[in-house]
Amino acid sequence: MKICIVNPSRCSSTVLLSVLANKLKNFTTVYEILNHQDGLELLATPGNIIFKYQYLWANKSLQGADKYIIADRKDLDAWAYSSYMSFVNHHHHGKLPIDVKAIYNKIDFLKHKDNLLKMYHESWVPERNWLLANGADIVWHEEIQDKFNDVYFNNIKLEKVWSFYASQRQCPK
């Protein structure tokens, strides 16, 4: 069986993957697929596999999994901020090291946000609707973010690194 956690990018899919991987012991876990060809190759391999597919990185529907779980986010401002900060700081999970100063540029962030939201609405929303119409389940970040404590993935404790939108937190200058 192939279980695909599909998401636009950066919205609780690692938490879902970790939780399901701990429950589905007879599944091989693949952290993430960033392009369509790798997704197709993974689907063609034998065995039980659970993986996450970053839709907006691949920007192409990945058909052929036995089960799809959508991980999405209602707070798109926070999602854009998390995406930007993860990308520019090359840090996605776990606490930032104490001696590392986060990079943040408001102008770059606003450009990133504008481009990301355009792709979200023009590409991801139709894909999400297609998946839902074809039996996918959906899990919203805001509904699970506080339900799982002490979640580890590859021996790294998952932390809320970039969870809050810039206007709701102290941004790096």
The confidence score (pLDDT) of residue 100 equals 78
User: Rounded CA gap, 24 and 3, in Å?
Assistant: 11
Q: Write out pLDDT tens, residues 118-157.
A: 999 999 999 999 999 999 999 998 887 666 667 766 676 6
Are 158 and 152 in contact by the 8 Å Cβ rule? The answer is: yes
Distances (CA, A) of 53 to 50, 105, 114, 125: 10, 28, 22, 15
From the centroid of its chain, how far is CA 62?
Answer: 15
> In this predicted structure, what is the pLDDT of residue 173?
40
The pLDDT score that the predictor gives to residue 172 is 44
pLDDT in tens, 24-60: 989 999 988 999 999 999 999 999 999 999 998 898 9
Rounded Cα–Cα distance for residues 147 and 143 (Å): 8
Q: Is the pLDDT of residue 13 over 60?
A: yes
**Helical H runs in the chain?**
13-23, 36-43, 55-58, 76-89, 106-119, 125-133, 141-144
Supply the pLDDT for residue 148.
62
Taking the domains of the chain in order of start, what are their residue ranges? 2-168
The domain 2-168 having CATH identifier 2.30.30: the answer here is no
